[in-house]
Copies of this chain bind each other. A is one copy, B any other.
């Protein structure tokens, strides 16, 4: 089932079609790992960015998550209503909104990670040792892969995203 694809390899001699299909299935598994009431993927990802990189302009946040600015305005409003983040003013530029994670936000993020780690751990016990090892070995590659999308850089502290003029 891994061998009969018509697109067995590209210029790099790599079965990109096969990988893409597998990643689709994996993404569905990740989505199905959500329990009702739990923070959604986008919500958690946004909170994680705020946790890692500190306060962030709303527009930058939107770019990093790969969503439009109106979508981020809404998301931030929901986060604010539930007390997980807050809006702050930028004294340098009164147009901007700096979004900041709250203590409750950090707690919610930690709890989500705990719960999902636990749920995933249960699934992982169903795999054999070699499969788990293969997954572990792939983590750095996955990490590298997820850093490739524009504006998704985890932003090392001190380098506040050099915004490369997107208009």
Contacts and interface: CB of A to CB of B under 8 A. Distances in A.
Interface of A: 2, 7, 10-12, 14-33, 41-42, 44-45, 48, 65-66, 113-114, 116-121, 123-127, 130-132, 134-146, 148-149
Contact of A145 (B2, B26, B142): B26
Say how many copies of this protein the assembly contains: 2
**Interface SS, A side:** helix
A129 to B, nearest CB: 9
Contacts of A131: 140-141, 144-145
B20 A113 contact: yes
A27 B25 contact: no
Interface centre among A18, A30, A42 (most CB of B within 10 A): A30
29 contacts: A11-B125, A12-B125, A12-B132, A14-B132, A14-B136, A16-B117, A16-B124, A17-B117, A18-B139, A19-B117, A19-B136, A23-B26, A23-B29, A23-B120, A25-B142, A27-B27, A27-B41, A28-B41, A28-B45, A124-B145, A130-B141, A131-B140, A131-B144, A131-B145, A134-B137, A134-B140, A135-B141, A137-B137, A137-B138
Contacts of A7: 113-114, 117
A11 B118 CA distance: 11
